[in-house]
Amino acid sequence: MSAPYSPSRGTTEGRVFNVSGGGDWDSVFAGDPLHEERLVVNMGPQHPSTHGVLRLVLEIEGETVTDARLVVGYLHTGIEKNLEFRTWTQGSTFVTRCDYLAPIFNETVYCMAVEKLLGAVVPKRAELIRVLMMEINRISSHWVWLATGGMELGALTAMTNGFRARERCLDILELVTGLRMNHAYVRVGGVAQDLPENAIPKIRDWIKEMDKEVHGVDRLLRGQPIWVNRLKGVGWIGVEGCLALGLTGPMLRAAGLPWDMRKTEPYLGYETYDFDVPTDDAGDCWSRFVVKVAEMRESLRIISQVLERLEQTPGPVMVDDPKIAWPAQLSIGPDGMGNSPAHVNKIMNSSMESLIHHFKLVTEGFRVPAGQVYTAVEGPRGELGAHAVSDGGTRPYRVHLREPSFINLQATATMSIGGQIADVIASVASLDPVMGGCDR
């Protein structure tokens, strides 16, 4: 039995623990006279280029990384535990806060899981809106990846341009959902409200703007020698490595396997859209850059097609089952967003039964037949899955999110060891981890 992982000592104030893996540095050095030059460097958890509160413990010799360990969990907020104490509908509000750059994806995969448990089929228009919102969200998430990744490698114009473009995406998300982030827009049974009237023309304008912005990335970065040199041949990981480590999404496609669940296991009618799955074969940071930029273009193609269909598909955006559907559509009033005035008028003035029904559904929630399901969608970072278990009650018994940020970060050591310390930054940036998702 070796020394305990977290040694502790008694003080007058109580017991003090030496935590988080720092306590064994002596054993790291012990009995290794050949590597006197070895340094252990702590990067993070507050280093600007570690994407939030990620901590890297690197062993370096000169500029070469000989070992890399990751410490996560600084942003653990117990979202999965909290879900078990709220109704199924309130779950949307929690999961949206996991991966805060891809909130619509979290909500959609959670709602798809609950709908599968219920056996509910969402209306066509709600499906279209979900696809629309997810693709807009994918683009906004990729912009943040480009902006933060660019900043970390010193390409500050990529940062300013990326955040500018992302702001335009958030404008659209705000127009539709009322919020820039943490939307809670996708609800079990459909979506919280229909698109506002001016949404479709605004999104058309936005598509033109995004076309220009994506083109700008090509002009700014694709031939830029520093950018190319920092990315090419860095952070390599092949298809076998990806599968072993569970890497999916752009990481896997950049290694050459065209695995995109929108094509391979279509959901929400993705099989009916005309789009390509961009791949590259080098498996390095450069390939990931190429794949993600191409993905933004493909998302714009999907969005154009959704808009056409939305114009021809009127109808409800919430399942036609009053025992599941939220009793009212939301609308914007003088004091912000809330239940529509017509609904409030009905339950307060004319229909006692509607009031009781509203009250029961909102406070008690609906019951979900017992069982377990797993659903998955293609998130911006890879397979985003939801494992939901119901005991037949009004609250989730257990919900687990398969977060691609969490899984993908395991590849950091593989990509970094043997490389330069500066390349660790490029590798982590290409993984595009979001610690809110990783730690949940």
Shorter beta-carbon distance to other proteins: residue 168 or 395: 395
Taking CB under 8 A as the binding criterion, the range among 41-49, 158-166, 244-252, 417-425 that sits at the site for other proteins is 244-252
Q: What is the DSSP letter of 335?
A: T
The full DSSP string for 149-181 is: HHHHTT-HHHHHHHHHHHHHHHHHHHHHHS-SS
What are phi and psi for residue 85, nearest 5 degrees? -115, 15
CB-based contact 55:70 (threshold 8 Å):
yes
Shorter beta-carbon distance to other proteins: residue 275 or 406: 406
Among 3, 5, 160, 351, binds other proteins (CB under 8 A): 5
Taking CB under 8 A as the binding criterion, the range among 145-153, 330-338, 391-399, 418-426 that sits at the site for other proteins is 391-399
Pairwise CA distance, residues 310 & 294, whole Å = 25
Among 310, 407, 424, 434, binds other proteins (CB under 8 A): 407
Q: Is 337 in the site for other proteins (CB under 8 A)?
A: no
Shorter beta-carbon distance to other proteins: residue 116 or 202: 116
Nearest distance, CB of residue 108 and other proteins, angstroms: 17
Report 117-136 residues binding other proteins (CB under 8 A). 117, 119
Among 49, 177, 248, 299, binds other proteins (CB under 8 A): 248
C-alpha closest to that of 69 among 422, 439, 424: 424
H or E segment at 385?
Answer: strand 382-390
Question: Which CB contacts under 8 angstroms, 24+ apart, belong to 182-186?
Answer: 182/93, 182/96, 182/97, 182/100, 182/103, 183/96, 183/103, 183/104, 183/107, 184/92, 184/93, 184/96, 184/107, 185/104, 185/107, 185/133, 186/92, 186/104, 186/107, 186/108, 186/111, 186/130, 186/133
Shorter beta-carbon distance to other proteins: residue 136 or 388: 388
Q: Is 374 in the site for other proteins (CB under 8 A)?
A: yes
Shorter beta-carbon distance to other proteins: residue 260 or 298: 260
Q: Is 371 in the site for other proteins (CB under 8 A)?
A: yes
Among 277, 313, 387, 420, binds other proteins (CB under 8 A): 387
Report 295-314 residues binding other proteins (CB under 8 A). none
CA–centroid distance for 117 within its chain: 23
Among 78, 154, 338, 418, binds other proteins (CB under 8 A): 78
Rule CB under 8 A: which residues touch other proteins? 5-6, 8, 17, 19-21, 72-73, 76, 78, 80-82, 84-86, 116-117, 119, 243-246, 248, 257, 259, 264-265, 323, 353, 356-357, 360-361, 363-367, 369-374, 376, 383, 385, 387, 389, 391-395, 397-398, 400, 402, 406-407, 409-410, 439-440
